[in-house]
Amino acid sequence: MRIVIIDDSGLRATVLEEGLREAGYDDIHIVPPRGAFVARLERMAPDVVLMDLGSPSRDTLEEMLTVSRALARPIAMFVDQSDEAMIGAAIDAGVSAYVVDGLRKERVKPVLELAVRRFNAFSRMQTELEEARTALADRKVIDRAKSILMNQRALSEQDAYALLRSTAMNQGKKIAEVAQALITASDLLGGV
């Protein structure tokens, strides 16, 4: 079974491809939705096309499926129209799938389920990455605020942090927010 993944994000496509390979699928191609991707896809004659639901190129792909002779009469969205839970899970995960007409449902279903799991895993990864980035940025801000306090008020690092923390608690704010306010004020006053 030939599976084509249409995706902008190299990382997400890789995550999906790895999963499919582990599950024993080996005829997998990744096509970014740019330029003449529709012509490339037509030449590949895939059995299943997987695509990010959020991709703006879905209309282009569907138009090709409508007029294409190479893919004959495809294409039902999702494997089983009556399986509402499956459809909901796919939309939630952001997966859209196109399947060549005549391909048996039981052959496609595991592919779609796998794609849903991998897309979900990918978005969890993204969220965690985002959180890690925020944490790192917060730490930099707090470090800078601490050094301002240490210089201006001759505090130890520990005391500078304690002061930031108690101010944040008193004001019902995050430490990073207090630190940012301090940096801004210090910049305005021409401080360090």
Partner 1 sequence: MTTNLRIAFLPLNDVAVLAAARERGFAEEEGLALDLVRTTSWATLRDRLVYGQVQAAHMLAPLAVAVTLGLSQQPAALAAPFKLGVNGNMLVMAKDFAAALAPDPAARLADPLGTAHDFAAAIGLWRRKPIIGVVHRFSSHALMLRYWLASAGIDPDRDVVLRVLPPSLTVEAIHAGEIDGFIAGEPWGSAAIESGRAEAVAIGQRIWQRGVEKVLAFREPWLEENPETTDRLLRALARAAVWCDEPDNREALADILADPRYVGQPSDLILRTLSGTIVPRAGDAAVSCPDFVLFSREATPFPWRSQALWIYSQLVRWNMVEPSAETEARAAAVFRPDVYRRALAGSDLPMPGASMKLEGAVGAPLGVGSRKGDLLLGPDRFFDGRVFDPERIEDYLAGFAR
Applying CB under 8 A, among 24, 43, 56, 188 the residue interacting with partner 1 is 56
**Contacting partner 1 (CB under 8 A), which of 9, 14, 60, 68?**
60
Nearer to partner 1, 55 or 182 (CB): 55
The answer to whether residue 40 forms part of the interface with partner 1 (CB under 8 A) is: no
* 82 forms part of the interface with partner 1 (CB under 8 A): no
Distance CA 84, CA 163 (A): 54
Residues of span 132-171 touching partner 1 by CB under 8 A:
none
**DSSP 8-state class, residue 191:** -
Residue 5 burial by Cβ neighbours in a 10 Å radius (0-12, 13-18, 19+): buried
- Whether the Cβ atoms of residue 89 and residue 116 lie closer than 8 Å to each other: yes
Q: Identify which of 81, 80, 79, 61 has the alpha carbon closest to the alpha carbon of residue 71.
A: 61
Site for partner 1 in 61-80 (CB under 8 A): 61-63, 66, 75-77
Q: Which residues bind partner 1 (CB under 8 A)?
A: 35-36, 53-63, 66, 75-77, 81, 84, 87-88, 91, 96
